[in-house]
Amino acid sequence: MKVEHTIEINAPAETVWAVTADINNWPDWTPTVEKATRQDEGPFRIGSHARMQQPGMPEAIWTVIEMDEGQSFAWETHMRGIHFTATHHTVATETGCTNTLGLELKSVLAFLLWPLAKRQALKTLETENKGLKEFCERKAPA
């Protein structure tokens, strides 16, 4: 079960990527994350992990499993018997970039809960993308 949300951002892809990769500061631009703390040092890369607290969810450790530096990454966590994979993908355009967020849930429990969870998952991705857009467009040079 998977949902995606794409948004146009009038800011350079490099700006959007830098904000996205700065995990510790996610609470500054999205209400979908209450607390985020990288659990490792150095560049954000495959194997990097962060402790995340999101509204209504138990605290979770997310681990990067795929990375295309400057463009996309995927990370995963397990909680409440469900395997979550989230994707972040930024593509440069003539006027800035597009940013696509995805969330995939796997397990029997996820299958059973999907009719209820799908709407909330999509709303969360949309809220996160809108916050990223507003934050990056304020940061971008005029």
For 108, which DSSP code? H
> Cβ neighbours of residue 9 under 8 Å, at least 6 residues apart?
16, 96, 97, 98, 99, 132, 133, 136, 137
8 Å CB contact between 23 and 140: no
- The pLDDT assigned to 116 comes to 73
Q: In what order do the strands lie in the sheet with 60-68?
A: 2-9, 96-106, 82-93, 72-79, 60-68, 49-53, 35-38
pLDDT of residue 13: 96
pLDDT of 8 > 70? The answer is: yes
Q: What local confidence, expressed as pLDDT, does residue 133 receive?
A: 98
**Element (DSSP H or E) covering residue 67:** strand 60-68
Q: Residue 110 — pLDDT band, cuts 50, 70, 90? A: low
The answer, yes or no, to whether residue 142 has pLDDT greater than 60, is no
pLDDT: which is higher, 106 or 65? 65
- Which pTM does this prediction carry? 0.91
Is the model's pLDDT at 109 over the cut of 80?
no
**Residue-level pLDDT at 117:** 76
The secondary structure of residue 47, as a DSSP letter, is: T
